[in-house]
Structure 1
Amino acid sequence: MRQRHKPWADDFLKENTHVIIPNAAEKKGKWQALFGNDHPIHVEIGTGKGQFISGMAEQYPDINFIGIELAKSIIVMAGSKVKEAGLDNVSLVYQDAADLHELFAENEISVIYLNFSDPWPKKRHAKRRLTFHTFLEQYQHILRPDGEIVLKTDNQGLFEYSLVSFSQFGLKLKEVNLDLHDIEDPENVMTEYEEKFSAKGQPIYRCRAQFSRGPVD
C-alpha cells in the first residue's frame, strides 16, 4: 500500500531519538541497558502504526518492547503514539529487518511477533516471507532457548505455509488457532489490520512456535 508522505517525519526522527532509536545496530547486546532494567525483550517485526506494540506495552509494563518498521511515514505515526502514551518500555527502530544479526545479539530476545506480515503469495517470492527458513535461522540465533515466535494473520495461505515451515525447521507448535476471536482471548491486543479484517468477519489465525533446541552458534 502506498503511504502518504509526512512532511514532519524527518523532524520527528531528529527530535525523538529516545523513541525511535538512531544507529540501532550500536545497541546490539545492550538493549536492556538502554531500557535501564533486566526485563525480557519482545520484538515486533513490522510494527505499523503502533497500536499493537503500544497496547502490549501498557498491558505488560514489566516487558520491554522493540518495534521494527521500514516505512518512515508509518514509524513516525507509531512513534507519536508511543510518545503521547508516555511509554518508557517501548523503543522503535526505523530499519529493514532483513538482517536481525545486525541489531540483536544471540539469546537477547524472548519473543518475536509477526503480525499481519506481507504474505508474498507468489511462489517465486517465498524467500521474502518472514517465516521462510532464512528468517527462522535468524530468529533462532537471537531468541533465548525458551523464546517464542507468535504469528497472527488473516491470510490462510501464509498461515498454512508458516505451519509447514515451522515444522520442517524443527519448531514445536504450542498453539494453532484457526479463529482467534472465536475464543475471545482477553489478553489479545489487536493491530489496526486485525480490527479491520475481524470487523468484516474474516477469521484471524494465530500460532505460537518454539525452537526445540538452543540457538545456533
Structure 2
Amino acid sequence: MTDTTDTTDTTDVPDTSERTLGKQSPVKPTLTFWSLKNDCAFFIESQLELHFALQLEFDDNVKSYETQPFKTTYSVSGKKRTYTPDFAVVNLNNETFIIEVKPYRKTKSEAFQVKTKALRVHFQRENSTYLIFTENEIRDNDTSANQQILYPWRFEPKPGDELDLLTSYFHNGSASVIELQIQALELDLDKNLPVIALAHGLVECDLSQSLSDSSEIFWKATQH
C-alpha cells in the first residue's frame, strides 16, 4: 500500500525483550513474535509459521493459541517417538487443533505420511484434531501479505468517534483508501485512520487482493 506507513511515526510495538517469552527450540533458528491475541511473545521457527500466526491473529474464530506448546510421545510401527507440535489452537467452541506447518514439498515423502497418520490417531485419542498446513493454504492469495502490512497497525488505539466522523462524509457505504485518507487530512485526522480501522476489523476490504490506494473499504452494517 503506497504512502500509508512511510509518512508517519513508526508504530510502538511492545518491547518483547522485557516480557515473558515462550519456549525456544535449541536446534532451530527462531523469530520472536508478539501476539496481541494472547498478550505474550512466542518463538516462531520459520517465515511460514509467522504467516500462519498472523492468520490466527486475524481469525475471529480463534480464541487462543500457543507455539511449540508441549512434547508428546506417540507410536509408529511399535516404536516410541517424541513430537512437539508447531501450534495448538483453541477455537470459540473450545475445540483444540494441533497444527504442523510444513513446506508442501516435505509432506510428500512416505515417512512423513506415516508419521502424519500416526499423529492423527494419537491426537484423536486426546480429543484433538491434527492438521497439516502448507504454503498452499497459508499463502494461497494476497491475504498473508496484507496481514503483514496491517498487523503493526493493530498496536495503535482502536478508532472510535473519529472513524464515525470520517465515514459520515461518504454516503454509499464505501470509499477507496486514498479517498478516505484525503478526507481524513481535510478533517485534521490521522491520515492512516482507514488503515488502522481495517487492521482492527472495524471496516472491511477484500484482503485476498493486494492492498493499494484504490482498494475499496466498506463499513460494517453497524457503523452508523
Compute the TM-score of the two structures, normalised by the length of structure 1. Answer: 0.28
Compute the TM-score of the two structures, normalised by the length of structure 2. Answer: 0.27
Higher Rg: 2
Select the structure that is richer in helix: 1
